Amino acid sequence: TMTAQPPIVFITGASSGFGAAIARRFAGLGARLVLAARRYERLEALAAELSDSRIAGPAGARAPAIHLIRLDVRDRGAVDKAIAELPPEFSEVTVLVNNAGGALGLSPAHEADLNDWEEMIDTNVKGLLYCTRALLPGMVARDRGHIINIGSVAAETPYPGSNVYGACKAFVAQFSLNLRSDILGSRVRVTDIEPGMAETEFSVVRFKGDQEKAAAVYRGVKPLSAEDIAESVVWCAMLPEHVNVNRLELMPVMQAFAGFAVKRS
Catalytic residues: 165
Verify binding: residue 166, ligand NDP, rule CB under 6 A. no
Which whole-number Å values give the CA distances from 50 to 16, 47, 116, 204, in the listed order?
Answer: 14, 5, 34, 25
Asked if residue 232 binds ligand NDP (CB under 6 A), the reply is no
Binding residues among 174-193 for ligand 8X3 as defined by CB under 6 A:
none
Contact range with ligand 8X3 by CB under 6 A, out of 4-12, 130-138, 147-155, 257-265: 147-155
Is residue 171 part of the contact set for ligand NDP (CB under 6 A)? no
CB 253 within 8 A of CB 224: no
Q: Does the protein bind ligand NDP through residue 39 (CB under 6 A)?
A: yes
Q: Maximum Cα–Cα distance for the chain, whole Å?
A: 73
* DSSP state for residue 164 in the 8-state scheme: H
Q: Contact between 202 and ligand NDP (CB under 6 A)? A: yes
Facing residues of 57 across strands?
60
Does 224 contact ligand 8X3 by CB under 6 A? no
> How far is CA 30 from each of CA 23, 216, 245, rounded to the nearest angstrom?
11, 38, 23
198 binds ligand NDP (CB under 6 A): yes
Contact range with ligand 8X3 by CB under 6 A, out of 26-34, 69-77, 150-158, 256-264: 150-158
Interface with ligand 8X3 (CB under 6 A), residue from 95, 153, 179, 229? 153
DSSP state of 112: S
- Among the listed residues 95, 99, 185, the one whose alpha carbon sits nearest the alpha carbon of residue 135: 95
Smaller CB distance to ligand 8X3: residue 75 or 231? Answer: 231
Q: Which residues are 67's β-sheet partners?
A: 34
| Least distance in angstroms from the C-beta of 91 to ligand 8X3 | 32
Q: What is the DSSP letter of 190?
A: E
Q: Closer to ligand NDP at the Cβ: 155 or 188?
A: 155
Closest CA to 126 of 158, 79, 174: 79
Closer CB to ligand NDP, 31 or 150, in the complex: 150
Of 55-63, 84-92, 201-209, 237-245: span binding ligand NDP (CB under 6 A) = 201-209
Q: Can residue 117 be called a binding residue for ligand NDP (CB under 6 A)?
A: no
Query: 95-98 and 8-12 as β-strands: parallel, antiparallel, unpaired?
Result: parallel
CB of 42 within 8 A of CB of 15? Answer: yes
Q: How many CA atoms lie within 13 A of 89 on its CB side?
A: 8
Interface with ligand 8X3 (CB under 6 A) = 152-154, 162, 196-197
Residues that bind ligand NDP in the complex, under the rule CB under 6 A: 12-13, 15-19, 37-39, 42, 71-74, 99-102, 123, 127, 150, 152, 195, 197-198, 200-202, 205
